[in-house]
Structures are given as structure tokens and as C-alpha cells.
Chain A
Amino acid sequence: MSPSAGTTPDAELLRQHVGGDPEAFGELFRRHRDRLWAVALRTLGDPDEAADALQDGMLSAFRRAGDFRGDSAVTTWLHRIVVNACLDRLRRRAARPAALTGDMEALDVLASDGFAMDPTGTSATRLDIDAALRMLPPPQRAALVLVDMLGFSVSDAAEILDISPGTVKSRCARSRARLLPYLDHLRGNRTASETVSPQGGGDA
């Protein structure tokens, strides 16, 4: 996926876009689309939702490019916009069936809906990575996806999520602890290909 104009720095492309260059933003999108897609898909757990969120995010970035201050990397800024679009969608989705209190346990219950999750973790179902991720509350999931799956530093993830680095660490730690029983069977082969998907996971 090496773009033809790959030598132009991201920040320069963004400046060209703000200056009216009709091609610059498309180039930025092509350059980062796979990682942005991965973040959206893994945060939302549903391809249709991910496509909508990525579209929302790119449109926002397109319009707000003039707000970019250059005190972070363009890629961090783009991820921040897309992750926020994802979390917005999750909030709206969550608000439909029942008003969320923001309580983590309530989020956990919603997130585990349909997966017959055993809260003690002692008789965990075997899940592939995507299904396991869906069991996490969205804020925890987003942090873990950024740090463990996309390789962002804790401080970059903190900037993307607009939370403190300590909160990123704690969300990642809690997520890892929670995922452990469900991913234990993957140790050694390190691939999700042989695992079963949960029967309730037909939405992805």
C-alpha cells in the first residue's frame, strides 16, 4: 500500500488540503485507510458500523483540517477523529435500548450480551480475538486496540482518547486481565484461525 505521492509528509498534505488542493486529502485517506479501518472495525466489532464511523470521521477531518495545530502527528489526529466517531456511534447505539449510566458493570453486561459470558471467567468460552474484543466495554476496548493491536504508545493512545496515560494503562490492564480466560487457548499457536466463533456473534 505504498502511495505514489508517498514522499510528501502528512502535515504537508494536510496544509495543501486546507489550501484548496483537491487531491491532498484523498492521498491522506489512502495512506492511512487500512489502519484507520482496523481501529474502527475492532472498536465497533461490526463492518457496517465501522464503515459508517470511518466515513463520519473522514468527513469531519476533511472539514476540520484547518483546526489541526500540528502539535501532534497527523496520523494521531486522524485516529483521534475516527475513534471519537466510533465511540459516538457506540454511545448512540447504547442509548437506544436502555439509557447507559456510564457504569462499567452496566457496559460489561451490554457488551457481553449474547455471548453467554461467565462473569467469573472460570469456564470461559473459547473465542477468537475479534469476538473476545467485543466483550470488552468500548472505552477499554478502544484503549487496548490502540496500544496492543496497532502499536500506539501509551502517550499517543492517551492523546487519541483524550484521557490520561494512567487511564490508558489501567484500561489496557483491565482489558488484558478480562480477555485472558478467553484467549488462553490461543497461546502457542498464536493464530485465531482454528478457534470457534461464538454462536451469538453473527453480527460481524
Chain B
Amino acid sequence: MNRHFDADALAGYRVGLITGRRERQITAHLATCAQCASLAERLAEVSILLAAAPLPCIPDAVTSRIEAVLIAERASTSARALPYAEKAGTPGKGLPYAEQAGTSARALPSEQTVVTPARSRFRLPRLTPLRVLAPAATLLVLAATGFGLSKLGGSPASAPAVSGAAQPAAGPAAAGSSVWAPAAGSFATDHGAHRMAMGGTVGTLIKVSDTDLRPTALGGQLETLLKSYTQLPSTQASISVAACVRAVAAGRTVKLVASARYQGSAATVVIIDTNAGYQGLVAGPRCSAADSDVLATAVLPSGISAP
């Protein structure tokens, strides 16, 4: 039995996967064959080399981004309780943070029937608002090339893999737990599986225009915006804008994002794809992860064919 053993066999032998007669053969062979003994030794050193490789440190940018996403998630868990329409009557004039927080900290509305246990226990925490550095006289339209609209929690692909524990049968998907987060080029619908290629490269791109939104014409203006945003020039979006949008969207599916002027003041527009059609929300310049600061809303006709 002088046949040499290959690396696979010796690697299996080292971890005890080979037993019985074959194990005895390898043991005996290694005692007499310098070539195979050397191979076994080099195999052992592979593990040593791997263990000695320094662990990479997480880049600060990744830490900041994830912390912002977690803050936004915390805020949106609470902001979910805010019926945006109620705030439509206060255009251009936002409430102080504390009052906003107080408003949204009340009990969850009854229409939110499906929540995960973790969510339902949430109370609005005190947060450091991520202020949006609102660009003056610009309309920033979020192209889905960079900001993915991904549904992390409820997607069929990820849900079963994340935890062995069972979810409520309906799952957070029914409650619109879609997550708006900077992610590379993905667009997931409420059902998670419908991914649309939005073109472009990885990166967070937004588009720029100069529309000044007016309360009296809001629906039409947002409709025009939704139809034509691909023709606008692009620029980069900040993480603050992302945090704002997540707060405004409150877990619902985001169709389009804009940060625009509203009655002369900087504002952020978020168009939500509800099951019944599109809803446009205009958030004020103080929009942040902690405070959606919604100034006005408009229901858009369903059936708009966005590009």
C-alpha cells in the first residue's frame, strides 16, 4: 500500500472525516512517506496562514451608513404611526422636533394590523436628527440606479434564511415593511421578487431639476415629475436624504424621491407606490431620520407610466 494520497484525502484525514481501514492506511503511510507527510504538514499550515491574516477593520463610511439606516429604521418604526394626510394642512411650517416626536409616539393606528413583535413594542426614541442639507432651488429626483428600493426584511429570498424562528404567517410584507435604503441597483416590489433593472452603475445617483411645487397644482406637478425624471441630469445624494426618505416612506414602497422647492422653501418629495396607486408626500427642509416633517400630500392617478 505505497500509493500516495492526495490533498483532499489528507485534509479529510486531518479533520477526522476518514475512519476505519482507510484511516489506518493513511496513518501508516504518513509514517513512512516523506512526500505525503510534507503535504499533510503544508495542509496544516494553510489553516495557520488563514488564522494569521489580519482581520480587516470595517471602514468608517460603512459604520456610519449602517448606523444611519438603523436610526432611520427606529424612526420609521415609530413614524409608521403617523398618518401623513393629517399634516397636509400645515404647508411651509413645521413643528419643532419635540412636538413631532410627541405626535408620532402615540399608539399605533388600528389599520396597521400586521406588525412584527419587535416593531409593536417600539416607542419613539429620542434621536439626533440627521438634518438634510437642503439644496436651494433644486429638484433632486432619486434615480433607482443607485438608491435601491429594496425590501430586505420581507423578501422571500432572505426571510427564511435569516433566522430559524418562524415569522407571523402574513409576515411584515403585508404591512409594507419594504425598506428604502442605499443599495446597489435593485428595485424590489412589495412582493420582493419583482426586480427591475433600472440601468446605470452602482452608486447613489439623484437627478436635478428646478421645479417649484405649489399646493394648488401639486398633483399635476408630481405627475409630470414622475413621467419625466429620467430626462433630468444626475448628481450624488447624501445619506441624510436617504434617512429622510426612509422616515417619510415609513416602510412603504418608494417609487420616486425628489427634494424640491415647495412654496419657495426647500422640500423633499417622496412618491409612494401604494396598492391603490401613487401617493406623493412633500417633506420640509427639516426632514431627517427622526422627523419626516411632511408638509403636504397628493394622491396621484394610478396608471401613470413612469419611465
Q: Which residues of A contact B (CB under 8 A)?
A: 18-23, 25-26, 29-30, 33-38, 41-42, 47-52, 54-60, 62-69, 77, 80-81, 84-85, 87-88, 91-92, 129, 144, 148-151, 162, 166, 169-170, 172-174, 176-180, 183-184, 186-187, 190-192
Tell whether, in the assembled complex, residue A129 and residue B53 are in contact, meaning their CB atoms are under 8 Å apart. yes
From known contacts A48-B202, A51-B62, A65-B118, infer whether A59 and B52 are also in contact, taking CB-CB under 8 Å: no
Tell whether, in the assembled complex, residue A177 and residue B10 are in contact, meaning their CB atoms are under 8 Å apart. yes
Tell whether, in the assembled complex, residue B70 and residue A52 are in contact, meaning their CB atoms are under 8 Å apart. no
Given contacts A50-B62, A150-B55, 11 further A-B contacts (CB under 8 A): A20-B122, A37-B57, A59-B179, A60-B162, A62-B118, A67-B118, A77-B163, A88-B161, A170-B15, A187-B49, A190-B52
Q: Which residues of B contact A (CB under 8 A)?
A: 6-8, 10-12, 14-17, 39, 42-43, 45-53, 55-59, 62-63, 65-67, 69-70, 73-74, 116-119, 121-123, 125-127, 150, 152-153, 157-158, 161-165, 167, 172, 177, 179, 181, 183-184, 202
Tell whether, in the assembled complex, residue B55 and residue A55 are in contact, meaning their CB atoms are under 8 Å apart. no
Give min CB distance, A11 to chain B, whole Å.
15
Tell whether, in the assembled complex, residue A85 and residue B162 are in contact, meaning their CB atoms are under 8 Å apart. yes
Give min CB distance, B81 to chain A, whole Å.
14
For B17, what are the chain A residues with a Cβ–Cβ distance below 8 Å?
Answer: 166, 169-170, 173
From known contacts A37-B57, A54-B66, A67-B163, infer whether A144 and B11 are also in contact, taking CB-CB under 8 Å: no
For A47, what are the chain B residues with a Cβ–Cβ distance below 8 Å?
Answer: 59, 62
Q: Give Cα A41–Cα B63 distance, bound, in whole angstroms.
A: 14
Tell whether, in the assembled complex, residue A177 and residue B56 are in contact, meaning their CB atoms are under 8 Å apart. no
Q: Give Cα A58–Cα B157 distance, bound, in whole angstroms.
A: 16
Tell whether, in the assembled complex, residue B157 and residue A92 are in contact, meaning their CB atoms are under 8 Å apart. yes
For B150, what are the chain A residues with a Cβ–Cβ distance below 8 Å?
Answer: 56
Give min CB distance, B141 to chain A, whole Å.
23
From known contacts A51-B62, A55-B69, A169-B15, infer whether A180 and B127 are also in contact, taking CB-CB under 8 Å: no
For A173, what are the chain B residues with a Cβ–Cβ distance below 8 Å?
Answer: 8, 11-12, 14-15, 17
Tell whether, in the assembled complex, residue A55 and residue B65 are in contact, meaning their CB atoms are under 8 Å apart. yes
What number of A-B contacts does a CB cutoff of 8 Å give? 182
Tell whether, in the assembled complex, residue A60 and residue B184 are in contact, meaning their CB atoms are under 8 Å apart. no
Tell whether, in the assembled complex, residue A64 and residue B56 are in contact, meaning their CB atoms are under 8 Å apart. no
- B11 interface neighbour in A29, A49, A174, Cβ under 8 Å: A174
For A63, what are the chain B residues with a Cβ–Cβ distance below 8 Å?
Answer: 73, 116, 118-119, 153, 172, 177
- A22 interface neighbour in B16, B39, B46, B74, Cβ under 8 Å: B74
For B165, what are the chain A residues with a Cβ–Cβ distance below 8 Å?
Answer: 64, 67-69
Q: Give Cα A144–Cα B123 distance, bound, in whole angstroms.
A: 41
- B57 interface neighbour in A34, A42, A65, A186, Cβ under 8 Å: A34
For B179, what are the chain A residues with a Cβ–Cβ distance below 8 Å?
Answer: 59
Report the nearest A residue to B45, measured CB to CB: A187
Give min CB distance, A49 to chain B, whole Å.
8
The interface residues of chain A, by DSSP majority, are classed as helix
From known contacts A22-B127, A176-B11, infer whether A55 and B181 are also in contact, taking CB-CB under 8 Å: yes
From known contacts A55-B69, A66-B117, infer whether A148 and B152 are also in contact, taking CB-CB under 8 Å: no
Report the nearest A residue to B53, measured CB to CB: A129
Tell whether, in the assembled complex, residue A183 and residue B49 are in contact, meaning their CB atoms are under 8 Å apart. yes
Tell whether, in the assembled complex, residue A91 and residue B16 are in contact, meaning their CB atoms are under 8 Å apart. no
- A38 interface neighbour in B56, B116, B125, Cβ under 8 Å: B56
For B164, what are the chain A residues with a Cβ–Cβ distance below 8 Å?
Answer: 162
17 pairs from A and B in contact (CB 8 Å cutoff):
A22-B127, A30-B63, A51-B66, A55-B69, A55-B152, A56-B158, A58-B66, A60-B153, A60-B163, A69-B165, A88-B157, A129-B49, A144-B50, A173-B17, A176-B11, A183-B46, A183-B49
Give min CB distance, B237 to chain A, whole Å.
16
For B183, what are the chain A residues with a Cβ–Cβ distance below 8 Å?
Answer: 52, 55
- A18 interface neighbour in B48, B51, B70, B121, Cβ under 8 Å: B121
Tell whether, in the assembled complex, residue A37 and residue B56 are in contact, meaning their CB atoms are under 8 Å apart. yes
Tell whether, in the assembled complex, residue A180 and residue B46 are in contact, meaning their CB atoms are under 8 Å apart. yes
Tell whether, in the assembled complex, residue B161 and residue A48 are in contact, meaning their CB atoms are under 8 Å apart. no
For B59, what are the chain A residues with a Cβ–Cβ distance below 8 Å?
Answer: 47, 51
